[in-house]
Amino acid sequence: MKGSLSVFRDRSFLRKLRMIALPIVVQNLLNFGVSAADTIMVGQLGEVQLSAVAVSSQMTFLYMISTFGVAAGCGVLAAQHWGAGNKEKVREIIAFMFRIMAAVSLGFAAVAFLIPHHVLGFIIDDPEVIAEGVRYLRVLSVGYLFFGTTTAGLVILRSTGTVKIAMLISLCSLVISVVLNYLLIFGNFGFPTLGVVGAATATSIAWGVGVILLVIYLFKVEKNVAFRPRYLLRRGEGIAKSFGRFATPVLFNEIGWGAANFMLGVIVGRMGREFVAANSIGQLVVQFVGVVIFGVAGASAAIMGNTIGAGEKEKAKQYANGMLILSLGLGVVSFFVVQGVRLPLIGLYEISDTARIYAEQITHVISGNMIFLSIAAVAIIGTLRGGGDTKFAALVDIIFVWLVAIPLGAFTGLRLGWPVWAVYIILRSEDVFKSVLILWRIRSGKWIKDVTKK
């Protein structure tokens, strides 16, 4: 414990953590603002519209998590090569990542535009909700073509210590999204009243502006990596093999976890639109409180990768122990924050009394789970992935949700008809199991893998 606490006296570590984590926290907070603007404004239209957007978000979440999987996997490679001082290899990784991202985004956009009714019908059996969700998803499918590229570019830049541009893009997205939501959802200032279509249009435009800003910055402004369009044509020796060995587990990790959350959404959807509406509010609470947790996790991944790439493995172990203590503290603080914000936030929505009761119950469960979520997120996204231990991170991140949360949640919720709060505890139980196993892995020291070595 004494050695673990010593990292908080390491000025170099604290400076790196502050310089990388703070902009990511601000970026996450701005992204939360975009989600909150959509959810709260659509929530004023009624429970059907709120449920439609919430159900559609299961598809969007799976898309986002897949793009983040590609980006985070390549970020593992980029962070360690950057720590080793190999800029040329980092450029090749960026080019490789953009090519993969284009294929992923096109695939999801095609599904969202061509067969949204099949996707939504699998999640919920409510014709009104499905009809509104189809209108929403078809417009949002255009935005899918933009979001992945922006996510990929920002994650790679974060791996090299460049994080301020992410704040600028997120700020622009927030302003555009809020303004257009206000104009297009409700038809203010002479604009057409589009409802959920207006929300999807606002989000798509905001994502489009984001990718334009990223391209301008990456090709014209950024001088550190110095990535230019001509690098897009370079294949890069050994990149595909390194991606397959170290980054593919991250991709499968995110897709597996995203698919699991999609199935959890199906369970929630089959339990009624009231649970769907309440769950959308609960997820907003998690996003709000998680901005700091996931900001620290992102910073940890960059710091661990750079440190191991530079050959300082003992220092990386000290940093990992320090991050465990920090994640525990963040989890405790998050518990009290959720307890403080949950009731005022629920009061902003025009929902039925049943949905309101459900929202109060599940946000209460969320407050207790934040401790375990914080430990798991910082360790998996930060320490294990940054350290190159992507296979173990993938295994521990998805095994409990598929073997415990999904089957038990479906059985207790759909077959036994347990109360919503009890089913929700089971659906979120994965974080408890993950936290225990992660503590053992980090203490063992087996998570350090130098991906720069051939």
pLDDT tens digits for range 393-409: 888 888 888 988 999 99
Contact by Cβ (8 Å): 335, 371:
yes
Q: Is residue 454 part of a domain?
A: no
Distance of CA 97 to the CA centre of its chain: 18
Q: Which of 1-15, 168-182, 360-374 has the lowest mean pLDDT?
A: 1-15
Nearest partner of 98 among 221, 263, 214, judged by Cα: 214
Q: Please state, in angstroms and rounded to a whole number, the distance separating the CA atoms of residues 298 and 283.
A: 20
Query: How many Cα atoms within 13 Å fall on the side-chain side of residue 390?
Result: 27
- The identity of residue 141, as a single letter, is S
CA angle 77, 82, 88 (to 5 degrees): 90
Cα–Cα distance for residue pair 201/135, rounded to 1 Å: 11
Is 336 domain-assigned? yes
Dump pLDDT digits (tens) for 417-438: 899 899 999 998 989 999 989 8
Q: Would you say residue 220 has pLDDT above 80?
A: yes
Count: domains in the chain: 1
Q: Name which residue leads in pLDDT, 227 or 178.
A: 178
- The confidence score (pLDDT) of residue 452 equals 66
In this prediction, residues 1-12 reach a mean pLDDT of 65
Question: 321 lies in a domain?
Answer: yes
Amino acid at 380: I
Structure tokens at 332: 């405790």
CA distances, 270 to each of 30, 266, 267, 277, 304 (Å): 32, 6, 5, 12, 42
- Tell me the pLDDT tens digit for each residue of 63-111: 888 887 788 777 777 877 777 778 888 888 888 888 888 888 999 999 9
CA distances from 374 to 49, 249, 323, 385 (A): 32, 22, 11, 15
Q: Which residues neighbour 195 within 8 Å (Cβ) at sequence distance 6 or greater?
A: 42, 45, 49, 132, 185
* Residue span of the structural domain in which 435 resides: 2-444
Q: Give the residue from 326, 310, 453 showing the smallest Cα distance to 383.
A: 326
Q: How many CA atoms lie within 13 A of 382 on its CB side?
A: 30
Q: Is 450 inside a domain boundary?
A: no
pLDDT of residue 4: 56
* pTM of this structure: 0.70
User: What is d(CA 6, CA 8) in angstroms, rounded to the nearest whole number?
Assistant: 5
Rg of the chain taking only CA atoms, in angstroms: 21
CA 122 – CA 432 distance, rounded (Å): 29
Residue 368 CB burial class (10 angstroms; 0-12, 13-18, ≥19):
middle
Average pLDDT over residues 203-213: 91
- DSSP alpha helices (H): ranges in 217-272? 239-242, 248-270
Residue closest to 438 by CA, chosen among 392, 370, 388? 392
What single-letter amino acid sits at 119? V
In a domain, 103, yes or no: yes
Residue from 144, 176, 182, 4 nearest 64 by CA: 144
Of 138-142, 153-157, 424-428, the range with the lowest mean pLDDT is 153-157
- Flag whether 451 is in a domain: no
In a domain, 453, yes or no: no
The answer to whether the CB of 60 falls within 8 A of the CB of 140 is yes
Q: 441 by DSSP, 3-state: which? A: helix
For the chain, the straight-line distance linking the first and the last C-alpha, in angstroms and rounded, comes to 35
Query: Does residue 452 belong to any structural domain of this protein?
Result: no
- Dihedral over alpha carbons 438, 379, 57, 174 (to 10 degrees): 170
* pLDDT(450) > 80: no
DSSP state of 447: T
Q: How many CB atoms lie within 10 A of CB 6?
A: 13
Can you tell me the distance from the alpha carbon of 176 to that of 181, in angstroms, rounded to the nearest whole number? 8
Average pLDDT of the segment spanning 115-138: 89
